[in-house]
Amino acid sequence: MKKIVILISGRGSNMEAILETARREKWDSSVVAVISNRPDAKGLEVAARYGVPTAVVASRGSADRASFDAALQREIDRHAPDLVVLAGFMRILTPAFVAHYEGRLLNIHPSLLPAFTGLDTHARAIAAGVRFHGATVHFVTAELDVGPIVDQAVVPVLPDDSEQTLARRVLEQEHRIYPRAVRHFVEGRLRIVQGRVMLAPGAANTGSA
């Protein structure tokens, strides 16, 4: 059984989508901890309702990024996870932290990478006049938002879209593709070959990676 640790900073809607899908589909896995860098993160309450142990490694007051990441790594490693999932975890991680979890650290980004890395993706997509926007699940590397792509979802950008309406439609797709990507990892179907993710065949194949 694969063990998963999920990191959050806020309400944890992607975390909840993963927990709910794992329960419904009876994955051969267990979310062994949900960890937040903020003690007031609403997602901690959600995780507790699912019976998942929670912990806080506070980023506020840390001497520097390296000190925080070292403390976070110690807490994660107590659970010996096979996979670490960033679900709205609002921290830029140090290269040493990322290297420690190489090949087992997933993130979701609200754009069709490599377009619109970083913040304010929905506003930037509207301002750029693109016709399509979306979300990307990727393996995390030391360079921000450029790791190997696992899965993507596309939504149209409508003429009357605001940042908020576009964000809502993208989030709906995040809740669909992130659990799927995590499930594929749990099933051992993801392979990184020359910087690209390949999806091995399997009975549960419901989409591309």
Cite the active site residues. Answer: 109
- The rounded Cα 61 to chain-centroid distance in angstroms is 25
Integer CA distances (angstroms), 3 to 33, 85, 93, 128, in order: 9, 11, 21, 41
66: left (phi over 0), alpha (psi -120 to 50) or beta: alpha
Contact 85, 113 (CB under 8 A): no
Name the nearest CA neighbour of 50 among 76, 24, 86, 72: 24
Segment holding 98, helix H or strand E: helix 95-100
Name residues whose C-beta falls within 8 Å of residue 195's C-beta, 6 or more positions apart in sequence.
148
By DSSP bridging, strand 190-193 and strand 196-199 are antiparallel
Contact 179, 15 (CB under 8 A): no
